[in-house]
Amino acid sequence: MSKHAALIESLDFAGLQAALARRIAYRTESQLPESAPELRRYLTEEMAPSFAALGFQTEIWENPVAGGPPFMFASRHEDAALPTVLMYGHGDVVPGDEARWRKAASPWTLEVKDGRWYGRGSADNKGQHSINLAAIGHLLKHQGRLGFNVKWLLEMGEEVGSPGLQQICEQRKPALAADVFIASDGPRLRTEAPTLFLGSRGVMNFKLELIAREGAHHSGNWGGLLANPGVILASAIASIVDAHGVIQVEGLRPPPLPDSVRKALSTVQPGEPGGPVIDTQWGEPGLSPAERVFGWNSVEVLAFRAGNPDRPVNAIPPRAVAFMQIRFVVGRDPQGFIPALRAHLDAKGFGQIELSQEGSEIMLATRTDPDSAWVRFAVRSLTETTGQAPVLLPNLGGSLPNDCFAGTLGLPTIWVPHSAPTCSQHAPDEHLPAYSGEQGLAIMVGLLADLGEGWPAGTRA
C-alpha cells in the first residue's frame, strides 16, 4: 500500500470535473483570430482566481511576438530555503469542429459517459493542467503546505506553435528559475499504463518543389519528350527515404542509441487496442518498434501534389511539390539538415529541385538522462502510488516545446501524461479516459507529496 494511501483515498474527482467543465466552456481556439479575447479571458477570469485560491500570485505576461497570445505566470512561495518546481500547461485548443461530434453533444460542454470525459481540451491540455492544479489543491487542503515552492507558466498559443514562448523563457529566465520542471501533456503509451517521458523528438518541416515549365502539355503528344516533374520529385524523395522508411541521407540519421536509452526502451511496446496496426517491417532495420519511434529519426511525406488529383487530366503537369518532415532525437544538429539535403540532391542529379525549410523555427529535440536521480525518483514514486512500474520513455515520439525548459532554462524535465493514444486529440469527440484521469490525479498527489518530504539526493546545488 502506498504511504500516501490516506491522501489518495480522499481525492475529489467531482471537484476536478467541475473545474474542468468551467474551463472547457471557454472557446479558446487559438487558430481562429476571432478567439483572441477568449484566450485572455481564460487566464483572467478562470485561471487567475483558481491559482489565487491556492495561494499563488499571478500576473499576465504580454507576448513578445506581435499579435501573439498572452501568458500567465503564477508563483506560490513557501520558503527561500526550499527547492522550486516549475510547472506548465496550455489553455488554448484546436477548433471545436462542432458539426462532426457524434459521441458527445458539444465540444464546449463537459460530458461524462461510458468511462470518458468528453470536451475540447479535456485531453489537450485543459484536463491535464487541471489535474495537476487539483493535486496541489488537494495537498494544501490536507497538509496546509507543499514543502517546496511552485512556479507555473501557462501559455495560450501552443496549438499555433507557441509563439513567444522561447523569447519569454529567455527574457524572464530569473523569474522562471527552478530546480526541476514537471508538467503533463501528450498521451500515455497506453490508457492503463502510467507513463513518464523525459523530453521530445524535435521537428523540422521542409518543401521540395520542381517547376519544369509553363502550363501542362498533352500526355499523348508530349509523353516521352517532356520531363515529368512528378516522376522526378518522386524519385528524389525515394533517394532520401526508401520504400521501407529507411533514411538514406547520412546527415539526417541520428548517432547510435545510448545504452541508457536502449535499456529504458527494452520493455516498451507501442500501440494499444483501437489504434493502428504497427508495420513491423517499416523503418530502420535492427531496431525494435519502440526504438524506431522514441530513439531514432524519421522522414515523412506529409503531402505530395502533381497536377490535379481531384480531377486528373491527360496532361504532363508543369510542377510538382512535396511537403516533408523530419522528426529527430538528440545528437544531431538540425541546422545541418537543409545543407545535407541540398548536397544529397545535387549529388544524385536533382539539382533542379528547389529545397526550402517550412516555418521559421525548428523545434529542438530534448531528453533528460534516463539514469538521472530525478528519473529514478519519479519512477519510484509512480510505482508506489499505482503498484506498477511506469512506462519510461526517454522522449516522446511527437514534439513539444520542451527545448525552452530543458535548453533555455537548463532544467531536468519530467513529463507525466494523463491522456491516451486513442483520446481523439485534435479530432471530433476528444475525451480524457476517466481511468487515466483519475489515476493521473492520484499519481500527481503522490509525486508532489514525495517531493514535499525530500528532494532527490544530489539534485540541488
Within a domain: 311: yes
Within a domain: 208: yes
Residue tagged 494544501 (cell numbers): 140
Query: Which pLDDT score is estimated for 275?
Result: 78
Q: 346 and 382, same structural domain?
A: no
Query: Which pLDDT score is estimated for 125?
Result: 97
**Residue at a domain's end among 322, 340, 363:** 363
* CATH number of the domain that residue 431 is part of: 3.40.630.10
Of the candidates 416, 323, 429, 412, which has an alpha carbon nearest to the alpha carbon of residue 373? 412
**Residue at a domain's end among 312, 340, 363:** 363
Q: 236 and 313, same structural domain?
A: yes
Within a domain: 460: no
Query: Which pLDDT score is estimated for 3?
Result: 83
Tell me the residue type at 190.
R
Within a domain: 461: no
Q: 248 and 174, same structural domain?
A: no
Q: 243 and 356, same structural domain?
A: yes
Percentage of the chain lying above the pLDDT 70 cut: 99
Query: Which pLDDT score is estimated for 366?
Result: 95
Within a domain: 215: yes
Give residue-wise pLDDT tens across range 294-325: 999 999 999 999 999 999 999 999 999 999 99
Between the CA of residue 233 and those of 33, 256, 315, 336, 364, what are the distances in Å?
A: 36, 30, 17, 22, 28
**Residue at a domain's end among 317, 339, 363:** 363
Q: Mutual orientation of helices 126-143 and 434-453 as an angle, nearest 10°?
A: 50
Query: Which pLDDT score is estimated for 148?
Result: 97
Query: Which pLDDT score is estimated for 236?
Result: 98
Residue 103 structural domain: 5-200+365-453
* CATH number of the domain that residue 312 is part of: 3.30.70.360
Residue tagged 515529368 (cell numbers): 228
Within a domain: 275: no
Of the candidates 300, 65, 71, which has an alpha carbon nearest to the alpha carbon of residue 201? 300
Query: Which pLDDT score is estimated for 460?
Result: 65
User: What is residue 277's DSSP assignment?
Assistant: P
The grid coordinates listed for 329 are 532525437
Of the candidates 209, 246, 257, which has an alpha carbon nearest to the alpha carbon of residue 355? 209
If one counts every other C-beta atom within 10 angstroms of the C-beta of residue 430, the result is 29
Within a domain: 378: yes
Return d(Cα 431, Cα 128) in angstroms, integer: 11
Q: 350 and 401, same structural domain?
A: no
Q: 324 and 390, same structural domain?
A: no
Q: 373 and 356, same structural domain?
A: no
Q: 165 and 110, same structural domain?
A: yes
Side-chain-side CA neighbours of residue 229 (13 Å):
25
Q: What is the pTM of this model?
A: 0.90
Query: Which pLDDT score is estimated for 19?
Result: 98
Dump the DSSP string for 254-282: PPPPPHHHHHHTTT-----TTSPPP-TTS
Residues in the chain: 461
Q: 244 and 162, same structural domain?
A: no
User: What is residue 226's DSSP assignment?
Assistant: S
Within a domain: 276: no
Contact (CB, 8 A) for 218 and 425: no
Give residue-wise pLDDT tens across range 392-410: 999 999 888 999 999 999 9
Q: 131 and 72, same structural domain?
A: yes
Q: 15 and 52, same structural domain?
A: yes
Q: 231 and 184, same structural domain?
A: no
Per-residue pLDDT of the chain (461 residues; tens, 9 = 90+): 678 888 999 999 999 999 999 999 999 999 999 999 999 999 999 999 999 999 999 999 999 999 999 999 999 999 999 999 999 999 999 999 999 999 999 999 999 999 999 999 999 999 999 999 999 999 999 999 999 999 999 999 999 989 999 999 999 999 999 999 999 999 999 999 999 999 999 999 999 999 999 999 999 999 999 999 999 999 999 999 999 999 999 999 999 999 999 999 999 999 877 778 999 999 999 999 999 999 999 999 999 999 999 999 999 999 999 999 999 999 989 999 999 999 999 999 999 999 999 987 788 999 999 999 999 999 999 999 999 999 999 999 988 899 999 999 999 999 999 999 999 999 999 999 999 999 999 999 999 999 999 888 767 65
**Count of domains observed in the chain:** 2
Return d(Cα 138, Cα 434) in angstroms, integer: 18
